[in-house]
Structure 1
Amino acid sequence: MEPLKKIEVNFTPGTIEFPSADRLKLYVNEMLEKTKGLVATDDSIKATKASRTEVNKLEKSIADVRKKYKKAWNEPFSAFESSLKELEGDCKAASQELKETIDSFEDQQKQERRKSVQELITEMAPNYHVSPEDVEILDKWLLKSTSKKAVLEGVAESMKTLQRLNAEKAQVEKLCLKHELPAERYIDLLQRGMTYIEVEQVIETDLRKQEEVADLFKQQRAAEVVAQKASMVDVGDGKLIDTETGEIKHELQRVSLELQGTKEQIDDIARYIVKSGVKIVSSSERETVFE
C-alpha cells in the first residue's frame, strides 16, 4: 500500500439567509421599549406581568429558530468529525502499543548495559581497594549514546573519588578518636561534599569551643571553691572548720589520670595508691593495647 500523502475533503461553506433580520431587530426593540419604566402597582401589576409573558414568548421563539438551524447546520460536521475521531482513536491505540513495544526493548537493552557496567565495576574495584557495592551506577553510563571508553573513564573516576573519600574517612575517624569526638558528624560532612581540610577546620573549631567551655567550667569551679573556703576557718594541717555548720573539712586534691604500662607496673602503682591512703573515686576496666 502506498503512503497516503493527503487526506482529501470536499468542503463547500454553507450559507444561511436571514431576510427578516432587520425587521425582527426593529420589532424586538419596539417591544422592549414599551417595557421600560414600568412600575408595579395595584393597578398596573396585571399589565406588567402580561408584558413579561410576551417578552418571554418572544425570547423562546427566537431561541427555537436559532437551535433548529444550528442543529441542521452541525449535523453534517458531527458525522464528519465522528468518522475522523474514530480513526484518530485507532491510530492512538496503535501508537501506544508500539510505544510499549519500544519501551520494553529499550528497557531490556538498558538492563543489559547495567549488567555490563556492574561486571566492569566488580572487575575494577579490587584495583582501587573499594567495595563494588559502594560504587553508584550513574544513569549516563546506561545511555546507548555513551561510549565504552566514557563508561570506563567514568567508573575509574568514581572509584578514585570513593578511594579518596574512604582514606579521608579513616583520617577523620583517627583524628576524632584522638580527641574523643564522635566521628559520625564529620564523616557526614565529608559525604556531603566538604573537603578533608574543611572538615579538619570544623573539628578544630569544635575543639576550641570545648576548651572554652572547659575553661569557663574551671573558672566557675575555682570561684565556688574560693567562696566555700571564705566561709571556713583554716586551723592548719589541711583542716578547716565550716563556720555555718561547725563541721571539720579537709582540703584535698582530685585529679584524673590515664596510665599506660605493663601489668606489673600498673599493679605496683595500684598497691602504692592503696597503701598511701589516697581515695580512688572512680576507675575504668583495664584495656590491653599494643604499641
Structure 2
Amino acid sequence: MAGRKKTELPAVESQAVSETATAQTGKMEFRLISPTEDGFLRVIKWNKEELEAAVRQKIASYENVVYTEDNLKQAKADRAELNKLTKAIEERRKMVKKIINEPYDIFESELKEILAQIQKPVKIIDKQVKAFEDQQKEEKKKSIQAAYDEVIGDLAEVLSFDQVFDSRYLNQTYKLVAAQADVKAKVEKVRTDLETIDGLESKYKLNAKDVYIKTLDLSKALAENKRLSDLEEKLEAEKRRKAEEEAERKRLAEERRKEAEERARLAEEQRKAQEKAEQEAASKRQGNVSKRQQNVFESQESGTKPDKNVPNRAENGTLPWESGSGPVPAAGTTIQNAEQQACAAAVDPFTQQQAVEQPKVQEKRYLTRFYAKGTRGQLEKLIQFMNDNGIEYGRIKA
C-alpha cells in the first residue's frame, strides 16, 4: 500500500535445534524441529547382499535350461516362481516408499497453506505495480509516437504508426531515445524506398507500391513489378504469335482462293475452247451433209445410177444393222444425231417454200438416196418420223 513501510522478510533457514526448542513469538523464519537436518533418513539399510546372492544362485540354474514339449509344465512352474519373487520384492519397495513419504506429504500440505496466505498481499502489490508500469509504458509509447509524428509528414496516409511500432520498445531495458531514433529511421527508409519505386519506368509501380506498403519490403515490391512486367511481355509475345499465325492463315487462304480461281478460269477457257471446237466440228459435219445431199439430188436429176456401195434395205423391212451387212461409212459422213440430221437430210430440200396456206396442188415428188447411222432407238425414231409424214422408203437395189 502507498506510504506503508516495507518489511524485510528473513531468509528461510534450516537450523538444527533440539526437539524441546520453542519458536520465538513473532519471528518469521522456517525452522525444522523434528527431525533435524542431520536427523533425516539418509540411507535405507536392507539385506541387499543376502538377497542378491540368493537371486544369483536361483537364476544361475536357468541360464542354460532348455524346455521341450515334454517338460512344458515345469517351464510354467519355474516362470510362476520367478514372477512370485518379483512381486514380493516390488510390494516391499512400495511399502517402504509409502512409509517414508507419509511425513513429507503432511509437511508439504501444511507448508502450502502458509504460502497461500503470503500470496494474498503479493497479488495486491502486483496489481498496483502493474498499473504503475502500464502507465510508464503508455507515457513511453506517446513519446515514441511524438517522434513518429515529427517525421511522418505526407507519408501518414500510407504508413501508420502501428506499422513502425515494435512492442519491445516498451521494455524497461529498451531506452526511449533508442526507440525514437529507430522509428525515425524506419520512416526515412520507407520514404527512400517509395522514391525508388516512383522512379521506376514501369506502369506497374503502383502495384509495387501497394505490395511495399503492406510488407515494408522493397525487394518484394520490386519482385512484384518484375513479375507483372514479365507477364505483360509474355502476353504481348503470345498476342504477336497469334497475330502472325492469323496473318499466315489468311495468306494461305488467299493463295488457295487465287489458285482455285485460276483453276476455274483455266477450266472455263478449256471448256469454251472445247465447245468452240465441237461447234466448228458440228458445223463442218453439217456442211458435209448438205454437200452430200446436194450431190444426191444432182445425181438423181441427171439420171445417175444409185451408188452400189450404199447399203441395201431388206425387202421385209429390216434395217441394214439388223442383217449385219453393208459397209461402214467413212468418217465425216456419220450423222451424230440420227433423228435430227436424218430428218434435215430428207426434208430440207422440200421446205424452201413459206409455211403459209397455199392452194392444194399435186406437189412434185423426188427420189433421194441416203443412209443413216445411229443407235437403235435413234433409227427407230427416224423410221417412225418417215411413217408419220408419209415418206416412202425401201431397199435400194443394185
Q: Normalising by structure 1, what TM-score? A: 0.51
Please list every run of 5 or more consecutive structure 1 residues that lacks an aligned counterpart in the other structure: 177-181, 235-239, 245-291
Residue type at the aligned position of 1:130: L
Give the secondary structure class of the aligned counterpart of 1:4.
Answer: coil
- Give the 5 Å matches for 1:11-30: 11=37, 12-14=39-41, 16-18=44-46, 24=51
Question: Residue 10 of structure 2 is aligned with which of 4, 13, 30?
Answer: 4
1:4 CA drift (Å): 2.0
Give the secondary structure class of the aligned counterpart of 1:106.
Answer: helix
Q: Normalising by structure 2, what TM-score? A: 0.41
Counterpart CA distance in 1 for 2:90 and 2:220 is 78
8 A contact 2:169–2:175 mirrored in 1: yes
User: Paired residue for 2:140?
Assistant: 113
User: Paired residue for 2:175?
Assistant: 146
Counterpart CA distance in 2 for 1:81 and 1:190 is 59
Give the secondary structure class of the aligned counterpart of 1:78.
Answer: helix
Counterpart CA distance in 1 for 2:223 and 2:83 is 84
8 A contact 1:135–1:159 mirrored in 2: no
- Give the 5 Å matches for 1:278-289: none
Matched, 1:160 2:185: no
Matched, 1:77 2:99: no
1:227 CA drift (Å): 0.7
Give the secondary structure class of the aligned counterpart of 2:243.
Answer: helix
With over 3 angstroms needed to count, the CA separation of the structure-2 counterparts of 1:135 and 1:143, relative to structure 1, is farther
Structure with the bigger percentage of strand: 1
1:102 CA drift (Å): 3.7
Counterpart CA distance in 1 for 2:44 and 2:188 is 80
User: Paired residue for 1:228?
Assistant: 253
Higher relative contact order (CA 8 A, sep 6+): 2
Counterpart CA distance in 2 for 1:199 and 1:55 is 75
1:224 CA drift (Å): 1.4
8 A contact 2:140–2:170 mirrored in 1: yes
Matched, 1:136 2:161: yes
Give the secondary structure class of the aligned counterpart of 1:74.
Answer: helix
User: Paired residue for 2:342?
Assistant: none
Counterpart CA distance in 2 for 1:5 and 1:146 is 34
Residue type at the aligned position of 1:75: E
1:162 CA drift (Å): 4.1
Residue type at the aligned position of 1:160: E
With over 3 angstroms needed to count, the CA separation of the structure-2 counterparts of 1:243 and 1:113, relative to structure 1, is farther
With over 3 angstroms needed to count, the CA separation of the structure-2 counterparts of 1:233 and 1:91, relative to structure 1, is same
Counterpart CA distance in 2 for 1:197 and 1:30 is 82
User: Paired residue for 1:288?
Assistant: none
8 A contact 1:113–1:142 mirrored in 2: yes
Counterpart CA distance in 2 for 1:196 and 1:28 is 77
8 A contact 1:35–1:51 mirrored in 2: no
User: Paired residue for 1:186?
Assistant: 208
- Give the 5 Å matches for 1:186-225: 186-188=208-210, 190-191=212-213, 192-194=217-219, 208-225=233-250
With over 3 angstroms needed to count, the CA separation of the structure-2 counterparts of 1:68 and 1:210, relative to structure 1, is closer
8 A contact 2:208–2:221 mirrored in 1: no
1:124 CA drift (Å): 4.8
Counterpart CA distance in 2 for 1:205 and 1:43 is 85
Residue type at the aligned position of 1:186: A
Counterpart CA distance in 1 for 2:52 and 2:221 is 87
Counterpart CA distance in 1 for 2:61 and 2:234 is 93
Counterpart CA distance in 1 for 2:70 and 2:143 is 96
Residue type at the aligned position of 1:71: K
With over 3 angstroms needed to count, the CA separation of the structure-2 counterparts of 1:3 and 1:131, relative to structure 1, is closer
1:134 CA drift (Å): 2.4
Give the secondary structure class of the aligned counterpart of 2:10.
Answer: coil
Residue type at the aligned position of 2:104: F
8 A contact 1:168–1:196 mirrored in 2: no
8 A contact 1:121–1:132 mirrored in 2: no
1:228 CA drift (Å): 1.4
Please list every run of 5 or more consecutive structure 2 residues that lacks an aligned counterpart in the other structure: 1-6, 15-31, 265-398
Give the secondary structure class of the aligned counterpart of 2:258.
Answer: strand
With over 3 angstroms needed to count, the CA separation of the structure-2 counterparts of 1:56 and 1:207, relative to structure 1, is closer
**Percent identity over the alignment?**
20
- Give the 5 Å matches for 1:50-65: 62-65=89-92
8 A contact 1:38–1:48 mirrored in 2: no
Counterpart CA distance in 1 for 2:78 and 2:230 is 92
Counterpart CA distance in 2 for 1:195 and 1:48 is 75
Counterpart CA distance in 1 for 2:186 and 2:97 is 70
Residue type at the aligned position of 1:136: F
With over 3 angstroms needed to count, the CA separation of the structure-2 counterparts of 1:16 and 1:217, relative to structure 1, is closer
Give the secondary structure class of the aligned counterpart of 2:208.
Answer: helix
Counterpart CA distance in 1 for 2:257 and 2:12 is 113
